[in-house]
Chain A
Amino acid sequence: MSTHGGVIAPPSSKQRFKDVSFRLALLFCLGISIVLLGVLIYDVAADGLSHLNWHFISNFSSIDAGKAGAKSAIWGTIWLMGVCTAFIVPVGVATAIYLEEYADNTRWWNRLIETNIQNLASVPSVVYGILGLAFLVRGPLSLGPVVLAGGLTLGLLVLPVVIIASREAIRAVPPSIREGSLALGATQWQTIRRQVLPASIPGIATGVILALSRAIGETAPLIVVGAATVAAFNPDGLGSRFTALPIQIFNWISRASNDINDYRPLAAAAILILLIMLLLMNSVAIWLRNRYEQKW
């Protein structure tokens, strides 16, 4: 070291101070967001925990804050997620298979489809609400503000997430697996169905869950589509009107409170239910990823 001492000087104390404070500043950037997340969860829990009980889950909403529950909102959300899943899984996976296994990337129309999907992923959610309003609720399909229209609107919104995740999962299956299968005489579809898809299911499932966890918290598109703000009934089919947790939360936040009725804690309790659902979904996604992650 001593022979090179003249070439590279050891860092001066001033420089070392600069390095340390820079590192601390960077750590602050990350730390403050984590602190904010902690404060947010603490604040919601402090406001809402007292209302979070069986009565809240098993009763309909009410003008009387003491009696109100989130039953219709919870069931509405479950119905929406069901419709959304039934739509995004076949369509999303089929699109991913086409783009990865069949599409010729040098053709302009296939590149157009790819750019289009990237773009769709960042169209504001409220614009999807407008699409749902114009085509599903009114206009050509005229379904009205029902479960099917709401679920499909959310499905279109998160479809790019599923497509992008499924493509990555399919791409991760090494070509040698396909070649082996084809060499044994399997057709292209047989290869996809028996080799490629089974190997990529964990990745696809993770993508679907992530998509659903985005859909479950979306409020704006449902407002535009016209979800009911107050509903004292559970949906009983695809053609039934509905409310959903985020809509119910928004309703409770914006309803003016008075001395007798304070709706804010109800909103907080409903947020807690939403967050618990999200946590469960994300845990399943992480578990899937770790359990079935395959190294080739």
Chain B
Amino acid sequence: MEAAGVSAAGERAAPRLGAARRRYGEDVIKGLLILATLISLLTTTGIVIALLRETIDFFGTIGIWEFLSGKKWTPLFNPGSFGVRPLVVGTFLTTAIALCVAAPLGLGAAVFLSEYARPRVRKTLKPILETLAGVPTIVFGYFALTFFTPTVLQDLLHLKVSIFNALAAGIIMGFMILPTIASVAQDAMSAVPQSLREGAYGLGASKFHVSMRVVFPAALSGIVAAVVLGVSRAVGETMIVLVAAGSSASNTLDPRGAHLSLASFIGSTAGGDTPTGSIEYKTIFAVGMLLFVITLLMNLVAIRFVRKYRQVYE
């Protein structure tokens, strides 16, 4: 600190720009800010520790192979079966249905908002789409159970679905993740430089060709990220699946019947009254661990793809 002001003899002293004295208050504040920042790291650590501890305990009782390969899931029976396959099937089925709805519709909406809509139209339509994203999932669940299944699927389309079914849960979940996909994909498409579009127009391309053969491929990594993010939200969704697809596990791929997913099992089993240390209590953590690992991997993939498109155009 002192060296800046007192220089070699004969030379003009440079003005002192540093602080006159060390300000301990500033250090204390910085310390507090760092402490607050550590909370988010602690959250992740806490999640991992909480899941790991009980999961290891769980695998002490139930073999890991039995868990991953078993085809029967009846943890609450005595003696219970702990094959997680039916839950994975339920998760996969509802997510796949949701993706079939959300990927085409969401990407279509993204192309429209990014390439076709005038700024004023975009400014009106985008908030409506965001409202859809803000609807609590329990409300979607109610809608799927009391309107979509009986009125649309059974009465209107004459499908032989039971009142709890994976089809309604999947379709409504698709609309839940649609705004996420549309919004992230639109950001990626809007980030494509105007010069690429102008180049294509200059070569005589139509708007359709510019959108689908220039902008879409150029924004592909962002679009992949959008879809992966949407899938990861669908995989982790609890309430829609629990309310609309019921709470009995099924190992079939029949979307007309009830299904239990990883997340909806946790929601259906974990109440305040599950005794600590019991095998039900541990299954919640083991299933939670599997869910956490699956969504974590997807998020890492999505983050990687998002970084890629940012690097190219910014």
Contact = CB atoms under 8 A, between A and B. Distances in A.
Interface of A: 7-9, 11, 15, 18-19, 22-23, 25-30, 32-34, 36-37, 39-40, 43-44, 47, 90-91, 94-95, 97-99, 102-103, 112-113, 115-120, 122-131, 133-135, 137-139, 145, 156, 159-160, 163, 187-189, 213-214, 216-220, 223-229, 246, 249-250, 253-254, 264, 267-268, 271, 274-275, 278, 282, 286
Contacts of A216: 136
Nearest to A192: B29
Nearest to A98: B33
Most chain B beta-carbon neighbours within 10 Å: one of A7, A103, A130? A130
Contacts of A131: 43, 46-47, 50
B143 A26 contact: no
Nearest to B268: A223
Would you call the interface of chain B mostly helix, strand, loop, or mixed? helix
A274 B296 CA distance: 30
B143 A8 contact: no
Given A95-B36, A126-B267, A220-B238, A43 B206 contact: no
Contacts of A120: 40, 43-44
B150 to A, nearest CB: 11
B272 A95 contact: no
Give the top 5 A-B pairs by smallest Cβ distance, nearest first.
A226-B272, A217-B136, A124-B236, A29-B108, A94-B36
Interface residues of B, number: 90
A250 to B, nearest CB: 6
A218 B137 CA distance: 7
Most chain B beta-carbon neighbours within 10 Å: one of A98, A139, A214, A264? A98
Nearest to B243: A253
B40 A159 contact: yes
Given A26-B116, A30-B112, A135-B50, A116 B139 contact: no
A25 B105 CA distance: 9
A9 to B, nearest CB: 8
Given A131-B50, A134-B50, A219 B138 contact: yes
Contact of A33 (B37, B109, B272, B285): B109
Given A95-B39, A120-B40, A131-B47, A274 B139 contact: yes
A228 B129 CA distance: 33
Given A98-B36, A122-B229, 15 more contacts: A30-B109, A37-B128, A40-B147, A98-B30, A99-B37, A120-B43, A122-B295, A127-B51, A127-B292, A133-B270, A134-B46, A160-B40, A163-B40, A249-B142, A275-B135
Nearest to A229: B271
B90 interface: no
Contact of B276 (A103, A138, A228, A282): A138
B146 A220 contact: no
A130 B272 contact: no
Contacts of B39: 91, 95, 159
Contacts of A94: 32-33, 35-37
A226 B272 CA distance: 4
Contacts of A112: 41
Nearest to B178: A33
A213 B131 CA distance: 11
Interface in B29-88: 29-30, 32-37, 39-41, 43-44, 46-47, 50-51, 53-54
A275 B136 CA distance: 9
Interface string B276-314: 100000001100100110011001101100000000000
B270 to A, nearest CB: 4
A223 B270 contact: yes
A118 to B, nearest CB: 6
A267 B36 contact: no
B130 to A, nearest CB: 9
Contacts of B32: 94
Contacts of B232: 122
A36 B140 CA distance: 11
Contacts of B271: 223, 226, 229
Given A216-B136, A278-B134, A250 B239 contact: yes
Given A188-B26, A250-B243, A274-B136, A130 B267 contact: no
A167 to B, nearest CB: 11
B141 interface: yes
Contact of B272 (A37, A225, A274): A225
B226 interface: no
Contacts of A139: 50
A37 B135 contact: yes
Given A43-B146, A95-B33, A26 B267 contact: no
Nearest to A134: B50
14 contacts: A30-B125, A37-B135, A119-B296, A124-B291, A124-B295, A126-B266, A126-B291, A130-B266, A159-B39, A217-B138, A220-B263, A249-B138, A275-B135, A286-B127
